[in-house]
């Protein structure tokens, strides 16, 4: 990416402010100022232009071979001050797109970018010579146009993608190629294109006459199938279908790397049809709109070469509408413990805990923080022919040979607690309980761990010390609980810097001091100059290069969809129960006391582990601060 390219609205407004203060030049003067053309070449170009006044001077010089289009663009940017906008990255405003239709934008080869103070900022290839296009856009939009230069590979493709996402009528994308040899039950077209086909086949009725489209409608089926394939290909974890009342469009959003973004907006007349089709795919009751429903889609039924499973939840909302959330289930294979991103100390201590013959190991954190993945990694590490391992899960997302896995079903009162009691009678060595949700499950798990079994489970708490106080508050016996607990691992997921576009530079002293102060905050009264110097020395030894710490950042590239992030990395907080901590648990100590004692024994908080991931170039401090408390 050129350093002069603009990728954010703030950069664009700043560049326009600078342009407004620059002296006005003609394109010929700009080219001469750069030394691109001579005065004789300029006179020859002006003479040639007299023969055909409809061709601008810049285009005339290009046709004469005097300058290239890149040289022309450089003159427009450097000497005439036109901002150069990267259209592949710039977040185009939906309000700007609605000022002119897709057909007009494609015919004039212009791209509406944003509205600012009643003016429309419009990207084009040569603002200095496109006066007719500017006049036409001003007439259609009834807005004053501010032209800038748009940089992209193929403008038609960029326009098609942008207008398709707002549900606008679009001309079919010429880059979409259909391959009849692919064994699909639906054509591999983009969801935007399928929406256009659907609109043409079935015009949207008025609101008062709105009818549900039949689930067998071919275009609707193909559109939803393509949406699921798109999500799986892009590494999306969740698909959100959000219905709104009246004529508001139905919005489909994808969650990727923990962040939601709008993928598509559908006309209001199709909201019932989309929800109905998804319900049919997972055998739910279409007529039931008052209660939430849960189901599962085996997508291989609709496309044999796409072995995708989705967990579906429907939620009733206002005005008799429903939302749908589809979770694309993780890969069926567990991840090795060494690949979870645990620090050297945490990996050694956690491995030691799960290799113990009996006791309880807990993995805690919010929904979507990778707790189940971590537990399955631990199970894979101890899954040997000599061990009998039972798991109770809801749902079963990861499978591995050798495990006896059970799906709980609260509707028939087959709960975690009942499954746990059944397992104890089935001669287990290791038991994994998907989640401790109530007092009964917690007490049963503690009893199982005290009778010679290793019990692994998850809990929704914020930190390792808080987990202990939460279970004590639930009514656990402090002495039994203290005897059974081996370790608590708290974790979060943060976005990982893209490995293809990450860059580094020497960290400034003030940046290093800020990170050090943040890191030492958890130590409280034990934050001494000696401790600080010890931490600083450790950082330089582990992460320094040529005696300096490095600051990492990523600019964005095609591999990360120009976000700068690709995938996620875990940050962890492991509290191993020692004799000192066991006595504190038996005495009902508060979370702060437990954390202070654990810090002295080697625990590092989520924030501290995250800061070390920052120093290693895996993520940014902003990501860490957004997901962890001090």
Segment 132-143, tens digit of pLDDT? 788 888 878 888
Segment 265-286, tens digit of pLDDT? 888 877 888 898 898 888 888 8
Count Cβ atoms below 10 Å from residue 613 Cβ, excluding itself. 23
User: Which is more confidently placed, 52 or 353?
Assistant: 353
Beta strands 502-506 and 403-407 are: unpaired
Q: Which of 573, 503, 507, 496 is nearest to 540 (CA)?
A: 507
Sign for the pseudo-dihedral over CA of 126, 132, 133, 137: positive
Percent of the chain with pLDDT over 90: 38
- Band (pLDDT 50/70/90 cuts) for residue 354 is very high
Place of tokens 């009998």: 388
Query: pTM of the prediction?
Result: 0.62
- Which SS3 state, helix, strand or coil, does residue 596 take? helix
DSSP alpha helix (H) spans, 142-248: 155-165, 191-201, 218-233
Prior bond of 395 cis (ω within 30°): yes
Segment 206-254, tens digit of pLDDT? 443 344 444 445 677 888 888 898 888 888 889 999 999 888 888 999 9
Q: What is the DSSP secondary structure assignment for residue 70, as one 8-state letter?
A: H
Q: Which of 193-207, 533-547, 548-562 has the lowest mean pLDDT?
A: 193-207
User: Which is more confidently placed, 185 or 320?
Assistant: 320
The mean pLDDT value for 64-79 works out to 75
> Would you say residue 288 has pLDDT above 80?
yes
- Which SS3 state, helix, strand or coil, does residue 16 take? helix
Segment 148-182, tens digit of pLDDT? 988 887 888 888 888 887 766 554 444 433 333 33
Helix, strand, coil percentages for the chain (3-state, nearest 5): 45, 20, 35
Rounding to the nearest 10 degrees, give the CA dihedral for residues 451, 456, 460, 462: 100
């Amino acid at each position: 990416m050129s350093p002069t390219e603009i990728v954010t609205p703030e950069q664009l407004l700043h560049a326009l402010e600078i342009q407004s203060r620059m002296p006005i030049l003609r394109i010929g003067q700009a080219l001469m100022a750069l030394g691109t053309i001579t005065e004789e070449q300029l006179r020859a170009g002006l003479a040639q232009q007299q023969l055909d006044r409809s061709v601008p001077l810049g285009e005339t010089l290009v046709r004469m071979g005097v300058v290239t289009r890149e040289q022309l663009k450089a003159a427009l940017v450097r000497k005439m001050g036109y901002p150069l906008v990267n259209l592949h990255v710039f977040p185009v405003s939906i309000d700007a797109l609605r000022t002119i239709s897709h057909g007009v934008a494609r015919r004039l080869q212009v791209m509406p970018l944003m509205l600012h103070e009643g003016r429309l900022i419009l990207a084009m290839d040569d603002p200095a010579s496109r006066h007719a296009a500017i006049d036409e856009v001003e007439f259609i939009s009834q807005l004053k146009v501010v032209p800038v230069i748009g940089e992209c590979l193929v403008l038609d493709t960029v326009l098609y993608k942008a207008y398709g996402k707002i549900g606008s009528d679009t001309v079919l994308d010429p880059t979409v190629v259909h391959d009849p040899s692919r064994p699909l039950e639906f054509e591999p077209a983009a969801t935007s294109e399928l929406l256009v086909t659907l609109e043409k086949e079935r015009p949207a009725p008025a609101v008062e006459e709105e009818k549900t489209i039949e689930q067998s409608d071919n275009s609707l089926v193909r559109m939803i199938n393509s949406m699921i394939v798109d999500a799986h290909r892009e590494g999306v974890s969740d698909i959100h279908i959000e219905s709104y009342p009246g004529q508001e469009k139905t919005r489909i959003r994808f969650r990727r790397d923990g962040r939601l973004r709008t993928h598509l907006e559908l006309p209001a007349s199709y909201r019932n049809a989309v929800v109905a089709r998804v319900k049919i795919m997972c055998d739910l009751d279409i007529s039931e709109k008052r209660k939430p429903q849960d189901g599962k889609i085996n997508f291989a039924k609709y496309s044999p070469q796409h072995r995708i499973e989705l967990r579906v939840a429907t939620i009733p909302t206002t005005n008799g509408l429903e939302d749908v959330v589809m979770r694309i289930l993780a890969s069926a294979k567990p991840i090795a413990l060494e690949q979870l991103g645990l620090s050297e100390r945490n990996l050694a201590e956690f491995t030691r805990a799960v290799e113990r013959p009996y006791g309880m190991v807990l993995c805690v954190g919010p929904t979507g923080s990778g707790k189940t993945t971590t537990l399955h990694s631990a199970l894979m590490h101890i899954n040997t022919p000599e061990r009998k391992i039972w798991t109770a899960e809801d749902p079963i997302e990861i499978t591995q040979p050798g495990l006896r896995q059970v799906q709980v079903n609260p509707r028939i009162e087959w709960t975690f607690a009942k499954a746990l009691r059944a397992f104890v009678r089935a001669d287990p060595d290791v038991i994994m309980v998907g989640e401790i949700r109530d007092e009964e499950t917690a007490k049963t798990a503690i009893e199982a761990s005290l009778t010679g079994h290793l019990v692994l489970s998850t809990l929704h708490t914020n930190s390792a010390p808080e987990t202990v106080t939460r279970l004590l508050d639930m009514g656990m016996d402090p002495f039994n609980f203290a005897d059974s607990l081996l370790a608590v691992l708290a974790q979060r997921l943060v976005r990982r810097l893209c490995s293809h576009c990450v860059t580094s530079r020497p960290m400034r002293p003030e940046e290093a001091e800020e990170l050090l102060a943040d890191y030492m905050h958890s130590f409280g009264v034990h934050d001494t100059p000696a401790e600080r110097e010890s931490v600083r020395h450790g950082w330089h030894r582990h992460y320094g290069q040529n005696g300096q710490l490095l600051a990492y950042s990523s600019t964005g590239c095609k591999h990360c969809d120009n976000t700068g992030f690709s995938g996620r990395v875990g940050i962890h907080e492991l509290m191993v129960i020692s004799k000192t901590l066991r006595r504190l648990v038996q005495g009902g100590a508060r979370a702060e006391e437990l954390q202070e004692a654990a810090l002295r024994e080697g625990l590092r908080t989520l924030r501290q582990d995250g800061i070390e991931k920052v120093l290693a170039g895996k993520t940014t401090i902003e990501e860490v601060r957004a997901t962890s408390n001090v």
